[in-house]
Amino acid sequence: MLASRSLIATLRDDPGDAVVASHRLMIRAGLVRKLGAGLYHLLPMGLRTFRKIENVIREEMNAAGALEFQLPILTPSELWEQSGRWEKMGKEMMRFKDRHEVWNALGPTHEESFSSLVSELIKSYRDLPLNVYQIHTKFRDEIRPRFGVIRSREFCMKDAYSFDLDEKALDITYQKMRVAYRRIFARLGLSTVPVEADTGAMGGTGSEEFMVPSEIGEETLLVSENDKYRSNQEKTPVSYAKAGDFSAANQAAQPTGDLKGLERHHTPGMKTIADVAKHLNVAATAILKTVLYYADGKPVAVCLRGDRDVNEIKLSNHLDGATVLPATPQQIKELGSVIGFIGPLGLSKDARIVWDLSLTEGGPEWIVGANEAEYHCGGCVLDPARESVDLALAQAGDPSPAGDGVLKEIKGIEVGHIFKLGKKYTEAFKVTVQGEDGRPLTPVMGCYGVGVNRTMATIIEQWHDDKGILWPISAAPYEIALVSIAKGEDEIAKAREFYEALTAAGCDVLWDDRPARPGVKFGDAELIGYPIRLTMGKGYFQDGELEVVRRADGEQLKCSGDTAALVGQVLKLREELYAELEHNAAGAST
């Protein structure tokens, strides 16, 4: 491609609303332009990279035996109602009525559509295993689109769905996909950390996320000292060093369900655990925190130790997948309490109380909110027969669930997610095949997603410097930038001859033949991030010496010889760059 016939839409200054490197550089390098909140145009340079990422994903999916489809983005509400997710998906789903007053959704994911389709296509156990996928546009009405295409409202995702006869067969498919994902990200130059994750609205039993460590990551990962345990914070169980003993002491002084007999403490204006602990000269671990929620419209009070926070994912799972929302000030008042002074005793009987396992650490007497402004109470003793469950958010410093030291915290960007869905959707859509014994069988499903736009941005987050992007050669808009500083028709003809020789040899080359200053050409090449830059200047036209620069490390080489020899040297460097990625992918496969 000739730069003079292309669109080099680079910018000198950073966009005002870009706060992360990938957003800033994608706009400055002319890869995208913003249309609105969470909506971005892909420009030619950006689309070339986008297609290359797609192709890597497609090659690995095909190699794993998956079959590519393309389904409609628009899906009728009846599919979502059949699976039970029309309400559960909430406001993130973009919905509308058509002219016939029929509700539809712009698909955020396609479990329902693929399950419905596959139910028509498979009949016998001989049709399984089956792995289907598409690379297509999705929509989610994000409440706060941010970080450019990392969290947008319209995005492209590769979503795959496997159908197997039983859990044992699903395990085999799941592991194939796990290897395929590791190869995909390694080929794209990404170092990923697979972690255990919650299945969320997708449902199912097993789930694993592929995270790229990053300071801007919105996900918190907890990793043990020896890397034996790795999990998303929302999934991590909390392990406590030692459980408390609440046997005889507790049974001698049970709460009556109200605040009578408890010691009252005046705590004016002290609405936080830290304020109350300081005022009463106690540790936060001596305070019982009560947090009010509404789960599918019903009030729930979560009680946990004062130094802990509620994990709303765990709470939702404990309540059978209920939609959990914090109680509003008016709702707290209706339940008989006051913001900042909520306690488990004296609440409305409508409120269901759930106890966190952290309350078996400490005690036996707790300080609690008095459900009265400006007051807390001391001496609250809990019923030892209460049912306690893990509802707290794990944090750095907690013992590792694998028993190898304590957990440390890192931030990560999710680029891929794989699930074991079980029979949730095949049962909902009556997907059955005739078994070997002639009886009907319901297949088990897996689900496997990769965010294409997000992967593109995450590569930039992991690979950039103060000059611009450092694309791995597999994802660069062009593998090679040929910068010619030519004077006169003879030199331009020599540059054209070399450009044509490179393209004939199979290289993906952008020849910067623009009548611009050398500094502009070099600056654009570094900003856009072509992996290899070839400079044809005075040294080439007079002495046949070609300057070759590796963008990733700035290494400069001086190559000499005729056109065929120079092309051969460039091809060798190109092959080395691909070989590095393939070596990483081979290692990820083991």
The string of pLDDT tens digits covering residues 571-587 is 999 999 999 999 999 98
pLDDT for residue 205: 59
Ordered DSSP codes for 50-110: HHHHHHHHHHHHHHTT-EE----SEEEHHHHHHHTHHHHTGGGSEEEE-TTS-EEEE-S--
| Over residues 234-247, mean pLDDT | 67
Tell me, yes or no, whether 66 lies in a domain: yes
Does residue 384 register a pLDDT over 50? yes
- Kindly state whether residue 470 falls inside one of the protein's structural domains: no
Is 397 within the bounds of a domain?
no
pTM of the complete model:
0.85
Q: Which residues pair with 410 in a beta bridge?
A: 221
* Position with higher pLDDT, 567 vs 321: 567
- Provide the domain count of the chain: 3
In a domain, 9, yes or no: no
pLDDT at 440 over 90: yes
CB contact at 8 A, 158 and 452: yes
253 has a pLDDT exceeding 70 = no
Question: What integer is the mean pLDDT of 367-375?
Answer: 94
* Range name among 217-226, 477-486, 505-514 with the lowest pLDDT average: 217-226
In a domain, 522, yes or no: yes
Q: What is the CATH number of the domain that holds 427?
A: 3.30.930.10
Joined tokens for residue 118: 């596959």
Same domain, 132 and 50: yes
pLDDT value, residue 360: 84
pLDDT score, position 70: 97
Kindly state the DSSP code that residue 124 receives in the 8-state scheme. B
Same domain for 230 and 360, yes or no, is: no
Question: What per-residue confidence (pLDDT) applies to 362?
Answer: 67
Among 389, 418, 446, which residue terminates a domain? Answer: 389
DSSP 8-state assignment for residue 358: G
Determine the residue type at 14: D
CA distance 530 to 507: 13
Answer whether 426's CB lies under 8 Å from 442's CB. yes
Q: State the CATH number of the domain containing residue 311.
A: 3.90.960.10
Q: What is the pLDDT of residue 255?
A: 42
What is the mean predicted confidence (pLDDT) over 523-552? 93
Domain that holds residue 287: 248-389
Q: Does residue 387 surpass a pLDDT of 90?
A: no
> Tens digit of pLDDT for each residue in 188-205?
999 998 888 765 544 455
pLDDT recorded at residue 404: 87
Please tell me the least confidently modeled range out of 298-307, 556-565, 569-578: 556-565
Say whether pLDDT at 393 is over 60: yes
What percent of the chain shows pLDDT beyond 90?
Answer: 78
Q: For residues 160 and 259, which has the higher predicted lDDT (pLDDT)? A: 160
What DSSP designation does 532 have?
E
Specify the pLDDT at position 252. 33
Backbone angles phi, psi at 101, to 5 degrees: 65, 30
Over 70: is that where the pLDDT of 338 sits? yes
Residues 532/557, Cβ–Cβ less than 8 Å: no
Say which amino acid occupies 150: I
Residue where one domain finishes, among candidates 335, 360, 389: 389
